[in-house]
Structure formats: structure tokens, C-alpha cells
Amino acid sequence: MYEIIKYPVDSLKAYVVSFFKALDVPEIDARIAADVLVSADLRGIPSHGVIRLHTYYGSRLRKKLIDPESPISVIQESPATLALDGGNGLGQVVAYRAMSRCIEMADKAGLAVTTVRNSNHFGIAGYFAMMALSEDMIGISLTNSQALVAPTFGLHPLLGTNPIAAAVPAGSEHPYVLDMATSIVPIGRVTVHQKSGQSIPAGWGISSEGVLTEHPEEILQGGALLPLGGPAELRGYKGYGLSLLVDLLCGVLAGAAFSTGVGNPNNERNADVGHFFAAIKIANFRTVEAFKADMDAYIQLLKSAKKLPGEDRIYIHGEKEFEHAKKCLKEGIPLMKEIVDGLKAAGDEIGLPFDIQPAG
Amino acid sequence: MYEIIKYPVDSLKAYVVSFFKALDVPEIDARIAADVLVSADLRGIPSHGVIRLHTYYGSRLRKKLIDPESPISVIQESPATLALDGGNGLGQVVAYRAMSRCIEMADKAGLAVTTVRNSNHFGIAGYFAMMALSEDMIGISLTNSQALVAPTFGLHPLLGTNPIAAAVPAGSEHPYVLDMATSIVPIGRVTVHQKSGQSIPAGWGISSEGVLTEHPEEILQGGALLPLGGPAELRGYKGYGLSLLVDLLCGVLAGAAFSTGVGNPNNERNADVGHFFAAIKIANFRTVEAFKADMDAYIQLLKSAKKLPGEDRIYIHGEKEFEHAKKCLKEGIPLMKEIVDGLKAAGDEIGLPFDIQPAG
């Protein structure tokens, strides 16, 4: 079991803002990036939270592998479409701006898509999809990522874990928020099993010999993750197809890198990550009231349905995360001591001690 | 092994046109519906082809459960968005018209979405996504369907096999065409195993007691299919999330029925199926030439990559189907004798004998 320390949301976020500012990120952008990063911890997705503050972002900003100014430029635009160049900026900042523009366009056109090339890892995809919710829109957020997943019948990783996020507003119920890697699990899940000495379920990935493995290190050392679905008889080519589709939209359509061309955050070169965002204005199809009434009815139908023996809940996507965030706002964000140690080391390195008080 | 009879594509299609015409479908609509239906057989998806001519369409047209005139009406429209009422028409005809309008709108706006309520089963989702290809657009086609799939931790079917289809043009390579049920397998696959007395892989579905079963009849008699991913440890809640997303777009956004409200083709009431179509014009994001060059490079990268031991090919989605269609155009469409017998019985019932000559 890990040792856990809880920190108040506001002070953790304030520290992350200072951290980005210390690395020449403008204050307003630092606030955006901090909000995205801390939201991952808040929503119970610590693999994408402050654990990556230094490794994915800080170290790259210091090495000038990410441009702290995030100088976004427009490649091509029309009332419902926008193609952006992210200027090798911070992925969170670039994605936030891209989705903001997408929502503005959709407010007028009823619908909009923004693509982004030349960006970086942007954190949790769901954050940007959720930006549409308050505008009574459906939000979609996709990104490609470094190759970790083998295509069906392939031996080596050629596809990213390329997530699909979609957010759909409801009325009195929590909104529906899907935020899923198109692999069975993200690589961080395998790392956690390795660190804790646990085996993994057969199906998550293959060894460098192409054999289904229960040993996490065999995936991490020259092996590959498998796409959602897993082996052929359980239809892994569907997960492969979804992962490829995400890359066709984020890599090929956006004009960014794709497949093995997408940079790993550990590489000493620009990542050229690509994103794809869409916003759909509900009022262009039916009244928002009728839509939300149906959403609530649907969610209640699912939640009140008969459960499998031994199970007491059917979850709606995003529900666990809303509950986790509520708890964290009250009790503080739980961080493993290992992550806190990493933050302390990173803070010392840039002369900004991580000395915030744990939640009381 | 089944007895197979091959029929020339043109004469099979001509028969289906006559069949629909005999049931009061206007000639132009009969041609559309026949092309969609025969395309399924041509592309190697016989479960969605002429096997359903009578059961899904003919019998419902005769009982006035489908309106042969397909009187589509506009609920709401803007340059990039269109909400249609399918008038309880033939799903294929309604979907063809809806996607045609979507493509026309996207040609001007760079992007468009059309939703449809009050429609019927429309055949293969991929057909409508592929309509975008010749216009150098990316096409997306979704539909909801009668509840056959249990949500994660649920005992009963509450979701359709709700397919996702996406078509992306390439240059010299075949286009990418994904056309997948969001369940592990469609129900027809289970029926085929039952008819041939085979067991099924554990994971495809559960019995009425909620237990993973290898007996097809336990799924068919009060059980349920499982969403893509299967059990929780292999992340079936992602397939559940995708299936639900399709229904939120096709059912809730379109204002059609959703979940258990979607009619089964065997029910004596309107099905109120909902669809969602999107078209994205590539030229609004980058040049079509650059896009297609990258598509070809990506496809070649995947195809030339190292394979798993014992495998000699990595497939691109849609590739097998293009090869199957090419073969059928030369040799005729293979139909199981059981399907031919069904066509003969249906033809006799409506006074239009199925007497076309098999391919020579």
C-alpha cells in the first residue's frame, strides 16, 4: 500500500501555476495548464496529473523542447472549421484555446471542428470535451500520442493509446463524460503493476515475441499494449480501428505527425502531437429542455436497471470522477508520497520549493 | 458446411428493386434500398444483406409498419446542421437522403451533421459513411438499434449493438472504412453459431442469470450481448460507453427512441430508430493531395510492419471488404441455400418469383 498525503486543491493548483510561471509560461497560460493538470488528480486520474508536471512538461520547457509562449497560428479557417498550428506550445494551453475557438464557432454555426498540429501532450482529453457542457453543447476531444499499441496481427507498437473523449450535458443528473484510451489500458496502468510487483491480466499486452503476457515488464521492455477488445476472437481489430481513426483525424487531417512519428515526451525533439476538437450545439437539433429531460430519463433508466449478481451499481461514464472531485474539494487531493517526492525534487531543481501544507 | 449458390450482382440487385417496387416503394427509392442491401452481401456482410429483405423490410412494408413513400420532413435546419424526421420510411432511403444532404451542406460549410428520428433499420452503417469518399470528405454514420447489449454490471439488454462507421479517403490505397458494432459481436454472429451447433468464445455474452456463457442459446433466450472489451478487467465499460454515446447522438440528440424504446424489427409498432451522420471536407483543413499522400504512407507503414508469428498480413479496415466485392463482381454473390430458400418463399408470398439464374 502506498503512503498518501492530501493537499488542498487551491494550494496545489497555486503551486503548479508558480511552477509554470518560473519556466517562462505567461501567467494566464500557467493558470490554464495548472487547471488541466490538477483536474486530472481531482477527477481520480492521477496518471495524468501533477505526477507529470516535471517529466512531461517542466523538463521539456527547461530544455526549450516546448515553447512557453505557445505561439498558436491559424493555418486555415471558415465559419465552422479551423486548422491551427500549435507553435510547439504547451499542449494544455494550445488545446484550451483550440476548444474555446471551436465552441465560439459552434455557437454561431451550430457545429464546429478545430484541428491542431505541432502541439504537445495535453493531459486528460476529457477536460477539453467538458468545456462544451456549460454552453449546452456536446464536446468531443481527441489526440494522438506516441506509439505504444500494436495493430491486430502486428508485432510492434505503431499506434498511440489515442484517447476518445466526449461530453454530453444532462439536466439534474451528472453529464455523461467518456474519456477512454483506445487501448485496453494506458501504459501508466502497466507501470503501476510493475512497480507494485503485481501480474497483469492476460490480454492487456504482448511481449517483444508477440506473446500475450501477464508480466508487466515484458510489455514495457520491447513489447506492446493491445487495442480495446484484445485478441482477435474478442474483436481487438475494433479497438485498433478506433485508435487508427483517432490518428487519421489528429495526425493526418490536422497535418501533424502520426503513428511512430509522434514524439515521446522523453525524446529530445519536437513531439508534433495532433489534436481534433468538435462542438455540437444541441439547440440546432431540438430544444435543450427536451434533450436534457431525455438525458435524465436515460441515465435514470440505466441506474435503476437490474444488476449482475454481486453488483450494486451501474455507472454512467464520468460519474465516479464527479464523485471523486467532490470528495477532493472537501478533503484535499490525495497524492502518493512517491509523487510528492518527485514534486519536491522538481521544485528544488528550479528553485521553487514544494512546501505547501497538507490538508488539515 | 453450407451449400452456396452464386448470383450475378446485377440480376440480384434487379430482383430486389422489383421486390421493393411490388411493395409500393417508388422506383428511385427501390433502387437506393436495393443498392444498400446488396452492398452488404457484396462486401461480405451477409448478415445485413438480402437475408433481411423480407424479415426486416418486406414483411413490415406489407403490414404498413414502414411507410413505402418514406415521407421525410425537415424539423430544423441551418447551413451546417439539419434535423430530419424520417416519416417512418425505409431506413436505407431515409439514411441515403440524409447523408446526401449532409454532404451537400459540408461542401459549402466544410462540415455538417444531419440527425434523423422516426426511421427504421438502415442496413450497413458503412454504406452511408462511404458516400463521402468520392467528395474527398470524411464520412461518419451512426445508428441506434433494438436493445441487445447489457451495460457493464447490468443483467439485461439496455443498449443496441449501435454501430460506428467512418470512411476516410486515401490516394492509391483503398480508403479506410470502419464499420463496427459496439458490442463484441452482432447478434447474427451468435445465431450462426447456434444454427451450426458451435459453442462461442466466453466473453461474447451472458445468460439470463448474468453468467458468461459459451452456449449461444443462453444469449438468445433472455441473455445479453456484452459491449466491446467484454468483462470489466478487459475494460468492457469502454464499449458500453461507445454504445451509449451512439445512442445519445442517434436517440437523444435526434429526438428518436433510445435504449429499450427502439423498436425491434419483429415488433408490431413503429421502430422510431434514430441516425446521426457527419461529413468533414478535407480541403478545409489541408490540401487533399497532402492528405492523401499521408494516408497512403500510413497504410503502407502499417502493411509493411512486422507481423505476429504465424500471421502474414496486417489489415486496414475495409480492405477485406473491398477484396470481397471485387471477387463478387467477377464471380457473383455467394448466398447460402437457406437464404435463397427464404428469398423464394418471400417472392412467392408477394407474387414475384425469385427465379434469377445463378452465375455461370
Tens-place pLDDT, residues A272-284? 999 999 999 999 9
Same fold, A70-184+229-304 and A187-225: no
- A residues 40-79 lying closer than 8 A (beta carbon) to B: 75-76, 78-79
Contacts of A328 (CB under 8 A, 6+ apart): A9, A41, A42, A334
Model confidence at A360, in pLDDT bands (50, 70, 90)?
confident
Share of residues in chain B with pLDDT > 70 (%): 99
Nearest to A298 among B152, B258, B295 (CB): B258
Contacts of A319 (CB under 8 A, 6+ apart): A174
The pLDDT assigned to A354 comes to 97
Share of residues in chain A with pLDDT > 90 (%): 91
Confirm if B229 and B204 have CB atoms less than 8 A apart. no
- Looking at the DSSP assignment, which residues form a beta bridge with residue A275? A116, A143
Neighboring chain A residues of B235 at a CB cutoff of 8 Å:
180, 184-185, 228
Q: Which has more confidence, B360 or B249? A: B249
The pLDDT assigned to B1 comes to 57
Neighboring chain B residues of A80 at a CB cutoff of 8 Å:
79-80, 109-111
Backbone angles phi, psi at B97, to 5 degrees: -65, -40
The pLDDT assigned to B256 comes to 98
Neighboring chain A residues of B176 at a CB cutoff of 8 Å:
244-245, 248
Average pLDDT value for residue range B104-117: 98
* Residue-wise burial string across A196-232, b where 16 or more C-beta atoms lie within 10 A, e elsewhere: eeeebeebbbbbeebeebebbebbbeebbbbbbbbbe
Average pLDDT value for residue range B301-306: 98
The CATH number of domain A1-64+331-360, selected from 3.40.50.2300, 3.10.20.30, 1.10.287.90, 1.10.1530.10: 1.10.1530.10
Q: Which has more confidence, A197 or B103? A: B103
Map residue A75 onto helix, strand or coil.
strand
Whether residue B189 has pLDDT greater than 70: yes
Neighboring chain A residues of B274 at a CB cutoff of 8 Å:
none
How far is the C-alpha of A297 from the C-alpha of A303, rounded, in Å?
10
Count Cβ–Cβ pairs < 8 Å, chain A vs chain B. 251
The pLDDT assigned to A266 comes to 85
Indicate yes or no: CB of A259 within 8 angstroms of CB of B284: no
Neighboring chain A residues of B309 at a CB cutoff of 8 Å:
155, 209-210
Q: Which grid coordinates are listed for A285? A: 437539433
C-alpha distances in Å from residue A151, one per residue of A15, A134, A185, A224: 40, 37, 15, 9
The residue count for chain A: 360
Indicate yes or no: CB of B151 within 8 angstroms of CB of A305: yes
For B1-64+332-360, CATH number? 1.10.1530.10
Q: Dihedral, CA atoms, A193, A198, A200, A205, nearest 10 degrees?
A: 50
Map residue B196 onto helix, strand or coil.
coil
Whether residue A2 has pLDDT greater than 80: no
Nearest to A151 among B176, B244, B302 (CB): B302
Mutation test of the interface with chain A: which of B140, B182, B308, B311, choosing the one with the most A Cβ atoms within 10 A? B308
CATH topology of domain A70-184+229-304: Ribosomal Protein S8; Chain: A, domain 1 (3.30.1370)
The pLDDT assigned to A159 comes to 98
Map residue A213 onto helix, strand or coil.
coil
Indicate yes or no: CB of B309 within 8 angstroms of CB of A75: no
In angstroms and rounded to an integer, the radius of gyration of the C-alpha atoms of chain A is 20
DSSP letters for A144-207: -----BPPTTBSS--B----EEEEE--SSSPPEEEEE-SBSS-HHHHHHHHHTT----TTSEE-
Which of A110-119, B189-198, B209-218 has the lowest average pLDDT? B189-198
The CATH number of domain B185-225, selected from 3.30.1390.20, 3.30.60.50, 3.40.50.880, 3.30.450.20: 3.30.60.50
Neighboring chain A residues of B306 at a CB cutoff of 8 Å:
154-156
Model confidence at B28, in pLDDT bands (50, 70, 90)?
very high
The CATH number of domain A187-225, selected from 3.40.50.10540, 3.30.60.50, 3.40.50.620, 3.90.550.10: 3.30.60.50
Nearest to A83 among B113, B245, B286 (CB): B286
Amino acid at A57: Y
How far is the C-alpha of B217 from the C-alpha of B197, rounded, in Å?
10
Cα dihedral across residues A174, A180, A185, A191: positive or negative: negative
For B70-183+232-304, CATH number? 3.30.1370.60
Sorted by where each begins, the domain ranges of chain A are: 1-64+331-360, 70-184+229-304, 187-225
pLDDT by residue (tens digit) across B267-301? 899 999 999 999 999 999 999 999 999 999 999 99
Neighboring chain A residues of B203 at a CB cutoff of 8 Å:
234
Closest CA–CA distance from residue A310 to any residue of chain B (Å): 9
The pLDDT assigned to A179 comes to 97
Whether residue A231 has pLDDT greater than 80: no
The pLDDT assigned to B140 comes to 98
Confirm if A240 and A159 have CB atoms less than 8 A apart. yes
Confirm if A273 and A143 have CB atoms less than 8 A apart. yes
Nearest chain B alpha carbon to A247: B298
Average pLDDT value for residue range B317-324: 98
How far is the C-alpha of B50 from the C-alpha of B70, rounded, in Å?
20
Task: Name the one residue in this structure whose C-alpha cell is 443498392.
Answer: B35
B35: nearest Cα among B16, B58, B59, B7: B16
Indicate yes or no: CB of A251 within 8 angstroms of CB of B317: no
Neighboring chain B residues of A238 at a CB cutoff of 8 Å:
180, 228
C-alpha distances in Å from residue B157, one per residue of B73, B259, B267: 32, 9, 16
Nearest to A252 among B113, B178, B298 (CB): B298
Whether residue A301 has pLDDT greater than 90: yes
Which of A68-82, A140-154, B222-236 has the lowest average pLDDT? B222-236
Mutation test of the interface with chain B: which of A152, A308, A312, A320, choosing the one with the most B Cβ atoms within 10 A? A308
Model confidence at A54, in pLDDT bands (50, 70, 90)?
very high
Nearest to A203 among B155, B234, B315 (CB): B234
Confirm if B149 and B224 have CB atoms less than 8 A apart. yes
Closest CA–CA distance from residue B239 to any residue of chain A (Å): 8
The pLDDT assigned to A1 comes to 57
Average pLDDT value for residue range B189-195: 86
Average pLDDT value for residue range B336-344: 94
Closest CA–CA distance from residue A66 to any residue of chain B (Å): 24
In 3-state terms chain B splits into helix, strand, coil percentages (rounded to 5) of 45, 20, 40
Residue A116 belongs to what H/E stretch? strand A111-119
**pTM of the predicted structure, to 2 decimals:** 0.98
Whether residue B191 has pLDDT greater than 90: no
DSSP letter, residue B133: G
How far is the C-alpha of B229 from the C-alpha of B23, rounded, in Å?
41
Average pLDDT value for residue range A136-148: 98
- Looking at the DSSP assignment, which residues form a beta bridge with residue B212? B206
Whether residue A96 has pLDDT greater than 80: yes
- A residues 214-243 lying closer than 8 A (beta carbon) to B: 228-230, 233-235, 237-239, 241-242
Nearest chain B alpha carbon to A207: B308
E-only strand ranges, chain B? 4-7, 73-78, 81-85, 111-119, 137-143, 164-168, 176-180, 205-206, 224-225, 273-281, 333-336
Average pLDDT value for residue range B198-211: 92
Model confidence at B195, in pLDDT bands (50, 70, 90)?
confident
Average pLDDT, chain B: 96
Share of residues in chain B with pLDDT > 90 (%): 91
Average pLDDT value for residue range A242-251: 98
- A residues 248-307 lying closer than 8 A (beta carbon) to B: 248-249, 251-255, 258-260, 280-282, 284-286, 290-291, 294-295, 298, 301-302, 305-307
Indicate yes or no: CB of B80 within 8 angstroms of CB of A110: yes
Neighboring chain B residues of A116 at a CB cutoff of 8 Å:
none
Indicate yes or no: CB of A155 within 8 angstroms of CB of B238: no
User: How high is the ipTM of this complex?
Assistant: 0.97
Whether residue B357 has pLDDT greater than 70: yes
How far is the C-alpha of B335 from the C-alpha of B12, rounded, in Å?
11
The pLDDT assigned to A265 comes to 86
